Amino acid sequence: MIKVFIIDDSMLIRNFIHKLLKNNKTIIIIGESSNPVDAMEEFKKTGLPDVFILDIEMPKMDGITFLKKIKSEKPIPTIIFSSLVNEGSSKAMEALHYGACDVIMKPQKLSNGLSGEFMEDFTSKVKAAAHSKYINDLDYKMKEKIERLKDSNKVIGIGASTGGVQTIESIVYNLHPFHPPIVITQHMPAGFTYSFANRLNKTCTNSTIKEAQEGDILQSGFIYIAPGDLHLEVNVNKENKYICSLKNYPKVSSHKPSVDVLFKSMSKVVKSNTIAFLLTGMGKDGVQGLKLIKDVSGDTYGQDEESSIVYGMPKVAFDQGYVQKQVNISDVVTLINEME
């Protein structure tokens, strides 16, 4: 049984979460509070949960401060449930940086949130958080000589879900300049990927990082992140250069953007020059795409269990034989930096 504790200053929202989870036989809400300070008193009665559902702006103590506190004392999987996500909030991005497993945008109308799709998505993220683990040190520091890479036809594809924000940060901060172009599909809400890309671009010195736009030409030293409400594909333009192509069609493998969509396009266009990494996340998005890349002699890697926050997607791919090699975060950095 997954024990959940809700911290939100709105009684309306707390009641809404109760409605979302009340019929799930594997989840139980053990307590709730309007702010983190009072919540810490409640823990003396209820004990600590398996998962926190946490707002950002609250009286007495904000959600980010609370997240930092539990991270330093006793890390517990946390889902941010906030209206700020719609704005690509820097605070929501900061929450993921400090260890939140996922971010869910509060629906504008709570009645809309009781739809089957929203309830299923909310429940699956609670379950993913409960099965996640805290990786003590994702900040892999690589001290290597930085040299310019030779021009290459290679394109790197990365797919990630729960835990991917911290993992991707740890990778891109340690890349050498002039690495092959990198395209990333990270499961995130619309609007939030723009904030994620901008934050990385401001703090990462060796790469130019942006939210992918239609027609972007893939260039060495650049990283392109799929927008939160569109599928990202790799295509070619009239000059036969690789470009980003954005598609607005329904979810694939239960996600939009979908890793399977990205990897499938790379298997058709980039073919054997594809290097694909399937990272942390629950479910199986990216598994079939990885198979297609392996079938055309591209290189396929899956994150190993020890370094994965949620060993889901890469496990399925490995178990089905589509991962040529399992890697940790440091391995990913080394592989990319050594590519020519």
Tell me how far apart the alpha carbons of residues 282 and 203 are, in angstroms, rounded to a whole number: 28
**b/e map 192-212, b = 16+ CB within 10 Å:** bbbbbbbbbbeebeebebbbb
Q: How far is CA 65 from CA 8, 99, 105, 169, 289, in A?
A: 14, 12, 20, 21, 39
Q: How far apart are the first and last CA of the chain?
A: 49
Question: Is 96:122 a contact under the CB 8 Å cutoff?
Answer: no
How many C-alpha atoms does 290 have within 13 Å on its Cβ side? 29
Catalytic-labelled residue, pool 161, 195, 245, 308: 161
Tell me how far apart the alpha carbons of residues 326 and 171 are, in angstroms, rounded to a whole number: 16
| Alpha-helical runs (H) found in 116-163 | 116-130
Tell me how far apart the alpha carbons of residues 226 and 258 are, in angstroms, rounded to a whole number: 9
Tell me how far apart the alpha carbons of residues 51 and 146 are, in angstroms, rounded to a whole number: 41
What strand order describes the sheet that includes 325-327?
208-211, 222-225, 182-186, 155-160, 274-278, 299-303, 325-327
Catalytic-labelled residue, pool 187, 195, 207, 255: 187
Residue 227: cis peptide before it, omega within 30 degrees of 0:
no
Question: Is 273:248 a contact under the CB 8 Å cutoff?
Answer: no
Catalytic-labelled residue, pool 50, 102, 216, 285: 285
Q: Catalytic annotation on 285?
A: yes
Element (H, E) at 243: strand 242-247
Element (H, E) at 269: helix 259-269
Q: Catalytic annotation on 161?
A: yes
Question: Is 85:192 a contact under the CB 8 Å cutoff?
Answer: yes
Q: Can you give the length of the chain in residues?
A: 340
What strand order describes the sheet that includes 27-33?
27-33, 2-7, 51-54, 78-82, 102-105
Residue numbers annotated as active site:
161, 187, 285
